[in-house]
Structure 1
Amino acid sequence: MSLLIAGSIATDHLMTFQGRFADSLVVEQLDKISLSFLVDGLEIRRGGVAPNICFGLGMLGLRPVLVGAAGEDFADYRSWLERHGVDCGSVHISSTQHTARFVCTTDSSQAQFASFYAGAMSEARNVELAPIAARVGEPDLVLVGADDPEAMQRHTEECRQRGYPFIADPSQQLAFSQGEPIRGLIDGATYLFSNEYESHMIEQKTGWSPDEVRARVGTQVTTLGKDGVRISGRDRETLEIPAVPGVRAVEPTGVGDAFRAGFLAALHWGVDLEQAAQVGCTLAAYVVETVGTQEYTFTRAGFVDRVREAYGDAAGDAIAPHLS
């Protein structure tokens, strides 16, 4: 299975605030907001939705193709990803801009304030998928994740024109997009990924009802945080899969990306959607227990054991041959 993962490539600057943002907000004065929070820690980590997903796929034994744009400061990051099984041969390198930056502060209730500097990401619109397919083979799936908006539109349209099955995963860009561009990113997708809040935003901005959204995509996968994931579609019964129990949450950044990686790896293995979601939830548990989006580790045997503990022997037996 050839997987092209398109999306932002960035460095994460992660900070923690021991209080609650909500305690400092005056609802009646939000139009005049001016706040500063004294943070206790700073972690500088590798990030960006596309590398995060690719890293997880590599940890599970696949070799995904990273599609995106970075700066000349990407050299060390490239080496890290390649050591973890990621094909970086099609990353566009800007000669003038730095790799994008994500700056995020998380409070004691896991609420977050974040800013994103695009930098070289703006050049992702210059990337064409066809030359990548000529190099690695026609893709079985192209994930179009949060990226330069023009790049997202271009990748999606190229997938339609060339017949590449694609996954719509607009996530963070939903807040900055209007209805027509969002409709263009979603219509005809094989899979649509979002969290629950984003699913409501999709409906609000597109004007589509939940049934109308599902009529335009093959399968809708909605993550529900600590409550797991919901899978629905035009011609399938809705599934609700619980999250891994007993998780000790440390930092939530990158959890959704890890879920996507686990889910896609399991699709590659040929297991059913319920088991794919269980693999996704298990990989997500490793990330939420770790600071940083690519700092988690596990043995493949240990991963299978964790699936067994969370979802039973049948779930573990289904994936064990693929991680032996």
Structure 2
Amino acid sequence: MPTIICGSLAFDTIMVFQDRFKEHILPDRVHMLNVSFTVPQMRRDFGGCAGNIAYNLKLLGGEPLIVGTVGQDFGPYAQHLQDLGIAQTHIATRSDQYTAQAFITTDLDDNQITAFHPGAMMQAGKNHLAGHMPTDSRWAIVAPDGLDAMVQHLADLHSAGVQTIFDPGQALPLFDGDTLRKAISDADYLSVNDYECGMVQARTGWDLSTLRSKLKALVVTHGEQGSRIYQGAEEIEIPAAKPHAVIDPTGCGDAYRAGLLYGLERNLPWATCGRIASLMGAYKIEIAGTQNHHFTRAEFAQRYQENFAEVLPN
């Protein structure tokens, strides 16, 4: 049964400036900034929240179905998805737009200057699920995308009775209080980091207890401190899996959410879902880029047992 992954698809162009921005930006001239950086190191990665979640879910053995909107330049990404065996039947192409893309320049102090072009993502609200809903899907996630698309997909999935995780992520500032309250009401589960959880409470006017009462479960990640899953009156502490190296945290949240979906698809207990999700985040942080890590089932099972002193369920 396919799991529906609603969200962005994007190209990430990462450049490394072999110096420090502060050496080239005059503090008293920032109002008339005109600088150029030579970047000898560059890579282009496949990204976007839907693409990242789908990639990680496929690694685990799930069957993701992406719902997203892309542009005329999507060809290499489409081939990448085809090579992975990820269905593209619900990806809409806008021939008059470019695929969303981020251009990120990092200096030697890990400071970043980012430019983001949303492109076709801004038309994602026209890619409706209503009337095109896979009848055999039981699980879905609505991840960051255009605001109207996220609202529409949540409403469509709610009407279809598909169990849905709402993951507002970096799109959270787009929501006003009324829209956010409605979005949470249409979802079954909410997954956020600790900062976003505070932002959700501030924007909705709901305290943590009220927020929990609106959901079947609330998942809050705390970075290297692990995560916490609130289900009913229960609070489940999930330890952070130990990475072999800390290289690139970008996309760790997407990997984590793929782990949740994989466990939920298989009706595993929340504690197990959280541990699978935690280990997925550890795999991701060890590799630069959001879709460049790999593992076999045996390797994953071994690291799961090493980290959590229990056997990974089949």
Query: Of Structure 1 and Structure 2, which has the larger fraction of its residues in helix?
Result: 1
Cα distance in 2 between the residues matched to 1:305 and 1:299: 10
Shift of the 205–37 alpha-carbon distance from structure 1 to 2, 3 Å rule, reads farther
Cα distance in 2 between the residues matched to 1:189 and 1:254: 22
Residue 131 of structure 1, CA deviation: 3.5
Instruction: Report the AA paired with residue 142 of structure 1.
Output: A
Q: Does structure 2 retain, via aligned residues, the 8 Å contact 1:170–1:185? A: no
**3-state SS of 2:132 partner:** helix
* Count of aligned pairs: 312
Residue 182 of structure 1, CA deviation: 1.6
State which drifts further: 35-44 or 50-59: 35-44
State which drifts further: 251-260 or 114-123: 114-123
Taking the TM superposition and a 5 Å limit, the aligned residue runs for 1:253-264 are 253-264=250-261
Which residue is equivalent to 2:96? 96
**3-state SS of 1:132 partner:** coil
Cα distance in 1 between the residues matched to 2:111 and 2:178: 30
* Residues 187-226 of structure 1: CA deviation (Å, up to 9, x unaligned): 2421101111111111111111111111111111111111
Cα distance in 2 between the residues matched to 1:49 and 1:127: 16
Which residue is equivalent to 2:285? 288
Q: TM-score, normalised by structure 2?
A: 0.89
Q: Does structure 2 retain, via aligned residues, the 8 Å contact 1:124–1:151? A: yes
Q: Does structure 2 retain, via aligned residues, the 8 Å contact 1:67–1:91? A: yes
Shift of the 32–213 alpha-carbon distance from structure 1 to 2, 3 Å rule, reads farther
Taking the TM superposition and a 5 Å limit, the aligned residue runs for 1:62-73 are 62-73=62-73
Instruction: Report the AA paired with residue 92 of structure 2.
Output: H
Cα distance in 2 between the residues matched to 1:181 and 1:21: 39
Cα distance in 2 between the residues matched to 1:198 and 1:295: 27
Q: TM-score, normalised by structure 1?
A: 0.87
Which residue is equivalent to 2:15? 15
Residue 25 of structure 1, CA deviation: 11
Q: Does structure 1 retain, via aligned residues, the 8 Å contact 2:65–2:86? A: yes
Matched, 1:238 2:206: no
Instruction: Report the AA paired with residue 9 of structure 2.
Output: I
Residue 111 of structure 1, CA deviation: 6.5
* Residues 130-171 of structure 1: CA deviation (Å, up to 9, x unaligned): 3432xx324212211110111111111222333332211111
Q: Percent identity?
A: 33
Shift of the 240–104 alpha-carbon distance from structure 1 to 2, 3 Å rule, reads farther
**3-state SS of 1:295 partner:** coil
Which residue is equivalent to 1:318? 312
Shift of the 249–67 alpha-carbon distance from structure 1 to 2, 3 Å rule, reads same
Unaligned runs of 5+ in 1: none
Which residue is equivalent to 1:225? 223
